[in-house]
Amino acid sequence: MRKLFSVLTALLVITLPNISLADSSKECGAIAKACLKAGYSKNEESRKAFWMSCMKPVLLGHAVKGVKVDAKDVQNCKEFKIKKMESELQELKAST
């Protein structure tokens, strides 16, 4: 189980900076909107910076200046991301 958690964590770190808001607007949209409202910009050049400076810290439970998000929204986004990564992991395992 610990190995699976490590693999999922690694996938989270690797893949999430490349996920656009459109991929998760329903589940993570409230967090993205709160980040945008707080002044974090999201465009092609700053996608990774947006993730690293706002989205990721919020999902990890850290305070981000100017960002207020309901705990339920954070939990829903985490669950969505974990399910997506588990699916990608299964796909990767099936291809080997």
pLDDT digit string, tens, across residues 53-77 = 999 999 999 999 999 999 999 999 9
Cα distance between residue 40 and residue 7, in whole Å: 29
Q: How confident is the model at residue 5 (pLDDT cuts 50, 70, 90)?
A: low
Q: What was the pLDDT predicted at 47?
A: 82
In percent, the amount of the chain with pLDDT more than 70 equals 74
Residue 79, Cβ density class (10 Å: 0-12 exposed, 13-18 middle, ≥19 buried): exposed
Could you tell me the pTM of the whole model? 0.69
Say whether pLDDT at 39 is over 70.
Answer: yes
Domain segments of the chain as ranges: 2-94
Phi first, then psi, for residue 34 (nearest 5°) are: -65, -40
Is residue 16 helix, strand or coil?
Answer: helix
Say whether pLDDT at 25 is over 70.
Answer: no
